[in-house]
Amino acid sequence: MPSKNPAFSRGFGNAGPGQPYAGWGNAPQQQHGAPQYGAPQYGAPQYGAPQYGAPAPQQDQYAAPSPYGTTPDTRYMTMDDVVTKTGLSFLVTVLTAAAVWALPGNAAWGFALPAVLVAFVLGLVIAFKQIANPVATLAYGALYGVALGAISEAFNSIYPGIVVQALIGTFGVFAGMLVVYKTGAIRVTPKFTRWMMAALIGVLVLMVANLVAGFFTDGGLGLRDGGPLAIIFSLVVIGVAAFSLLLDFDMADEAIRRGAPAKFAWYIAFGLLVTVVWLYLEILRLLSYLQDD
């Protein structure tokens, strides 16, 4: 991908519009010294081979095989498939989170950590193996719903009303980036994708460095202690997550144009779920910083 999104980092993460997805239908590379099509051949010409100087036959670009290896009876993915699968994935996540929040006392925390660990492993498997399966995507959504329910309840108990604010902020960012993408205000180009991948790696490195530093000094590098530097870093992370949505939208369009099978919409839904959950948690964190000031 696509995308910054780790879900789209394999297969077609680095492919921009008009470029083939890595690992699917790549054009064969010519070997050094191999004769070129239409070049003079020495010796007797083979039957049916193009003669020297003869014009090369034109290929029908629409007859090229789909990079997804689809068959003639395959139903191709549409935008309705993406919207339906994504909506169902979010619905499962929200309902699971609400159910966990409704548990009495602090019972939710007993499920939160195991759910996060299992969801993390499952997410890596889905991303690296490109699993387009409803069971895998919905299971991932349900597992993260458990964690989100416990986390949201904890934040809301300290800062009443913060969850509603975070949900409104997340929806607003999502809708805004969708408008930006559809209007073409920001175009997803190969250069834009490279910059986004670099930003994602940079954010990840800083997070890990701050976590490691926290074992040696109080507050680590100060990226998560609620101070001014933490607020700036959180804003940067929200920006990276927001622009990652553009990569997700573009990968959905590109998969449709290239004739992906309908079931591939589950993989697209997984990628969008990863980005939106990340965006929500970061907005929730930022709002907690601002209320502490």
Question: Shortest CA distance to 142 belongs to which of 82, 94, 107, 102?
Answer: 94
Residue 232 burial (CB < 10 Å; 0-12/13-18/19+)?
exposed
The yes-or-no verdict on residue 14 having pLDDT over 50 is no
Contacts (Cβ under 8 Å, ≥6 apart) of 145: 92, 93, 94, 95, 96, 97, 99, 100
Kindly list the domain boundaries of the chain, sorted by start residue. Answer: 75-292
State pTM to two decimals.
0.74
Q: What is the pLDDT of residues 218-248, one digit of tens each?
A: 878 888 888 889 999 999 999 999 999 999 9
Helix, coil or strand: residue 261: strand
pLDDT at 111: 81
Helix, coil or strand: residue 76: strand
Amino acid present at 278: W
Q: What is the pLDDT of residues 149-195, one digit of tens each?
A: 999 988 998 899 999 999 999 999 999 999 999 998 999 999 999 99
* Greatest CA separation for the chain: 87
101-105, 132-136, 176-180: least confidently modelled range:
101-105
The yes-or-no verdict on residue 16 having pLDDT over 80 is no
